[in-house]
Amino acid sequence: MDALLRVTGLRKAYGPVEVLKGIDLSVRPGEKIALIGPSGSGKSTCLRCLNFLEKPSAGQIFLDEEEIGVRNGRPMSDRELAPQRSEMGMVFQLFNLWPHLTVTENVAIAARKVRGLPAKEARELALEMLAKVHMTHRADASPAELSGGQQQRVAIARALSQKPKLMLFDEPTSALDPELVHEVLKVIEELAAEGRTMLIVTHEIAFARDVADRVLFLDGGVIVEEGPARNVISHPREPRTQSFLKQIRH
């Protein structure tokens, strides 16, 4: 089957420090991929390069055969990137909800201003998305009144409202208190069951094993090991993967 997302030779350097040293990756429609690895391994940077929040130093990214961030051989500006970014829904570690807007407005504003939906339709869409993350009951709250888990669920609804081809989760539960992790993972699991394509950077190994189709283990800016989730996590081949998994379990 054709790949929905294709990444070739992705590199990213900050000055002399190379964080990504050549990532190749291909994601089929409907596939769920977990990126795991120690902190500083480059997994978040990799995800952030996909929608050009970080500008890659080299390499190419194709979504549905359209190259991201480059037009006629030239790098695109943030302004030109906007339509491409709206095809990928991003969920941040720190939620990044907009505090001056209500929950519903957070979810509706992109539909209104980016896609030009009328206010009423945007609101209906937002409520529909909030229902998916079980947050309809706080539709008129302000983000500051919500728990971390609730905020993250709203952030997921915000990303869903773009009707993205691909969802990007950047450590969605790392900033949460332990008792709030579950409600967010459950929502992501439900989305996975709908057959959405998603890339998840996570430290939740059990979740990666149960939900992802494929796991990539990154270390030092390269993919050290990849394969079906159960294989990589239960029977890692590479010593680096083995020691990482051992550390994270204890």
Partner 1 sequence: MNSFFQPFFEYANEWAPQLGEAMVNTALLSVSGFALSLVFGLLLLLAQGSDYALISRFAKLYITVVRGVPLLAVLFLIYFGLPGIGITFDAFPAAVLGLSLCFAAQVGEVLRAGLKAVPNGQREAALSVGFTPSQSFAYIVLPQVLRIVLSPMLVTFVSLLKDSSLASLITVDELVLTGRAMATEYFLPLQIYIAVGLCYFVIAWPFSLLSRRLAR
Per CB under 8 A, residues contacting partner 1 are: 51, 53, 77-79, 81-83, 85-90, 92, 94, 96-100, 109-110, 113-115, 155, 158-159, 161-162
CA distance 45 to 65: 22
The residue among 14 and 98 lying less far from partner 1, judged by its C-beta, is 98
Nearer to partner 1, 82 or 248 (CB): 82
The one-letter code for the residue type at 193 is: A
Tally of CB atoms within 10 A around 81: 18
Where does 51-118 have alpha helices with state H? 78-85, 103-113
Residue 27's beta-bridge partner residues? 5
Closest distance to partner 1 from the beta carbon of 93 (Å): 9
Q: How far is C-alpha 221 from the geometric centre of its chain's CA atoms? A: 18
Nearer to partner 1, 97 or 199 (CB): 97
Cα–Cα distance measured from residue 107 to residue 169, given in angstroms and rounded to the nearest whole number: 17
What is the closest distance, in whole angstroms, from the C-beta atom of residue 54 to partner 1 in the complex?
10
Nearer Cβ to partner 1 (87/124): 87
How far apart CA 12 and CA 58 sit, in angstroms, is 7
Least distance from C-beta 154 to partner 1, angstroms? 12
**Least distance to partner 1 from the beta carbon of 14, Å?**
15
In the complex, minimum distance from the CB of residue 90 to partner 1, in angstroms, rounded to a whole number:
4
For residue 42 the two structure tokens come to 């480059």
CA 33, CA 223: separation in Å to the nearest integer? 13
Write out the two tokens for 127: 């409520």
Q: Which is nearer to partner 1, 4 or 224 (CB)?
A: 4
Nearest-approach distance from CB 64 to partner 1, in angstroms: 16
Q: Which is nearer to partner 1, 21 or 132 (CB)?
A: 132
Counting DSSP H helices and E strands in the chain, the numbers are 9, 12
The CA-based angle 192-173-237, given to 5 degrees, is 70
